[in-house]
Amino acid sequence: MQGHDPMWVNVILGLHITAGSGAFVLAPLALVTAKGGKAHRLWGKIYFWSMAGVAVTALTMAAYRPLLFLGLVAIFSFYTAFTAYRVLGQKAAYKGEKTTKALDWFAAVVCFAASALLALFGAVRPEWVQGLGIPAMVFGGIGMWIAASAMWRFTHPPKEKMFWWYAHLQGMIGSYIAAWTAFCVVTIGPRLGGSPWWLWVLPTAVGVPAIIMTTAYYRQKFTPRRVVA
């Protein structure tokens, strides 16, 4: 931060770093503890609110600078954690029950719109997103897919009983990818003399296949085995 910034900006930055560091450390604790247990729920909730703190402080700093890329990415990054948290209360959707609230629709629409703008600016006006055209298109495309998938689920009863497990897992790992991205940019970027575009997308390139493989593993695990007569 620059020396002429008002004190409140430094305070917001400090809160942003604290929340981000907390989320970075807490996610593994939630992942390794027994799923559904008290420890898992506790660390998961703290992680979620840490990500909420990251998003609020990032949006505040993005508006002050202004940094359009930071603001739009903050919306998309937080939504991954938000939808992962909310889906835990939507398990009955598999039975055809209405579990979606107005808040879910609002968040999904905001994420889709922010992600669409991110992808669009990255493609046609990269200077509007701090010259990070490729990361903007990648993150924007992923954000639109996540939001669109959620809205499809809101209007079409899931066919898989454990749909909520997959959505929760994908959302939480997705938000942790965002935390890893910030860590790489902040710690590795300066050593490279800046933050090249590939450093922004590297955690995503590693994390997305991990999400796909993990989801496939649990789908196979939860699929009833056929009994051979």
Q: pLDDT truncated to tens, each residue of the chain (229 aa)?
A: 445 788 999 999 999 999 999 888 888 888 788 777 888 889 999 999 999 999 999 999 999 988 999 999 999 999 999 999 999 999 999 998 999 999 999 999 999 999 999 999 999 999 999 999 999 999 999 999 999 999 999 999 998 999 999 999 999 999 999 989 988 998 898 888 888 999 999 999 999 999 999 999 999 988 876 655 5
Residue 75: how many other CB atoms lie within 10 Å:
23
The residue behind tokens 């402080």 is 57
How large is the angle between the packed helices 197-222 and 133-155, nearest 10 degrees? Answer: 30
Alpha-carbon distances, residue 23 vs 105, 106, 163, 191, 207 (angstroms): 25, 24, 25, 24, 16
Rounded CA separation 44/52 (Å): 12
Rounded CA separation 227/169 (Å): 29
pLDDT of residue 208: 94
pLDDT of residue 27: 85
Rounded CA separation 12/22 (Å): 15
Rounded CA separation 69/126 (Å): 10
pLDDT of residue 228: 54
Rg (CA), the chain: 19
Q: What is the pTM assigned to this prediction?
A: 0.90
The residue among 142, 163, 169, 139 whose CA lies nearest residue 71 is 139
Alpha-carbon distances, residue 100 vs 82, 85, 220, 221 (angstroms): 13, 13, 27, 27
Amino acid at position 197, single letter:
W
